């Protein structure tokens, strides 16, 4: 019962609260430029997509940590989740600054990612770590794409995305070193297709 209550609390805090970051929000080396209305709208949409990604990351790691019987792996997953909480806080803060909002479908995204993480964790620890590697590699590529799409003078959003990209790459490397299995190509393709649906929808809703 305690475990279920903790899982419910984690879900509610991720989806509905304003999370607190354990690290300072990344700041650009140059002053934030003024954004035209269309630039502000684009930045808001892209940061909403990034915020959805962090909601899913929280759910994925929480599901994996709940499923594993390996105490060391659980600790690694929970540590990664804490860093993802920083990302969640940073993207939510940036959404507020851009007068934008989180995705209205965040409860759905959380539920799906949690289920995926829990199932992967039940299959095996190596499979679970394999999902971490593939997820983080895809997120890293996705964030690189956003760095090319964000308005050139939106230095604040760029600083956040750049730090997130660095953290995601490290999480993938750590999972690889911990013994992740290589996922079959059809699984990778399915993950990429699901991510495409999520990011396209979250851009607008």
Percent of the chain surpassing pLDDT 70: 92
Q: Can you spell out the DSSP letters for 14-29?
A: HHHS----SSPPP--S
What angle is formed at CA 119 by the lines to CA 178 and CA 144, rounded to 5 degrees?
60
Instruction: With cut-offs at 50, 70 and 90, classify the pLDDT of residue 16.
Output: low
The Cβ of residue 119 has, within 10 Å, a number of other Cβ atoms equal to 15
pLDDT (tens digit per residue) in 29-79: 777 778 899 999 999 999 999 999 889 888 888 888 888 888 888 888 888
Token pair of 87, please?
């990302």
Q: Which residues of 86-104 are buried (b: 16+ CB within 10 A; e: fewer)?
A: bbbbbbbbbbebbebebbe
Give CA–CA dist 43/47, Å, rounded.
6
Q: What is the largest CA-CA distance in the chain?
A: 51
DSSP state of 150: S
Res 112: pLDDT:
87
- Would the pLDDT of 9 be above 60? no
Domain 36-202 is found in CATH 1.20.1260.10: yes
**Cβ pair 130, 117 in contact under 8 A:** no
Q: Cα–Cα distance between 140 and 144 in angstroms, integer?
A: 6
Locate the domains of the chain by residue range: 36-202
| Cβ–Cβ < 8 Å for 154, 38 | no
Rounded distance, CA 136 to CA 138, Å? 5
Structure tokens at 189: 């393709």
């Amino acid at each position: 019962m305690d475990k279920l209550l903790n899982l419910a609390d984690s879900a509610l805090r991720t989806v509905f609260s304003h999370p607190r970051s354990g690290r300072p929000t990344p700041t650009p080396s140059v002053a934030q430029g003024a954004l035209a209305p269309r630039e502000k709208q684009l930045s808001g949409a892209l940061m909403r997509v990034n915020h959805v990604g962090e909601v899913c990351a929280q759910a994925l790691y929480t599901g994996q940590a709940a499923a594993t019987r390996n105490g060391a792996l659980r600790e690694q997953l929970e540590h990664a989740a804490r860093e993802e909480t920083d990302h969640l806080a940073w993207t939510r803060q940036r959404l507020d600054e851009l007068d934008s909002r989180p995705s209205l479908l965040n409860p759905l995204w959380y539920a799906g990612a949690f289920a995926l993480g829990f199932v992967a964790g039940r299959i095996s620890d190596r499979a679970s770590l394999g999902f971490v590697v593939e997820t983080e590699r895809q997120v890293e590529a996705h964030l690189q794409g956003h760095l090319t799409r964000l308005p050139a003078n939106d230095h604040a959003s760029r600083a956040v995305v750049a730090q997130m990209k660095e953290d995601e790459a490290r999480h993938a490397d750590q999972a690889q070193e911990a013994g992740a299995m290589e996922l079959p190509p059809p699984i990778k393709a399915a993950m990429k297709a699901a991510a495409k649906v999520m990011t396209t929808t979250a851009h607008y809703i």
